[in-house]
Amino acid sequence: MDPDDYLYPSNKGGHITPTQAYRILIKAAEVLGRDDIGTHSMRKTFGYFYYHRTRDLVFLQEIFKHSAPSITKRYIGITREEIDESLKIFIYRGIR
């Protein structure tokens, strides 16, 4: 693809609207038997992988316009994951 090409072009030219993106995601979710997928799923997924690649929570907070890092962590599901990982490490080290 050309860097200036739209990832999801509209049949009418230009890009698809947020409403069209939502409809496409809902149809895909129905095929998968899921009811928990929407346009924010893509935003959260971006945030999750951005954080894991960069560990830059402050910059991600700015991207999302959140008022606190704790909100960003909760939004992308990092808090629960970090707690679970911490417990695994604690239990593993405690056994030795």
Domain ranges of the chain: 1-37, 39-95
Q: Look at residue 95 and tell me whether its pLDDT is greater than 80.
A: no
Q: Look at residue 93 and tell me whether its pLDDT is greater than 80.
A: no
The reported pTM is: 0.67
Q: Look at residue 91 and tell me whether its pLDDT is greater than 90.
A: no
Q: Could you tell me the pLDDT band of residue 28, with boundaries at 50, 70 and 90?
A: very high
- DSSP collapsed to 3 states, the chain: CCCCCCCCECCCCCECCHHHHHHHHHHHHHHHCCCCCCHHHHHHHHHHHHHHHHCCHHHHHHHHCCCCHHHHHHHHCHHHHHHHHHHHHHHHHHHC
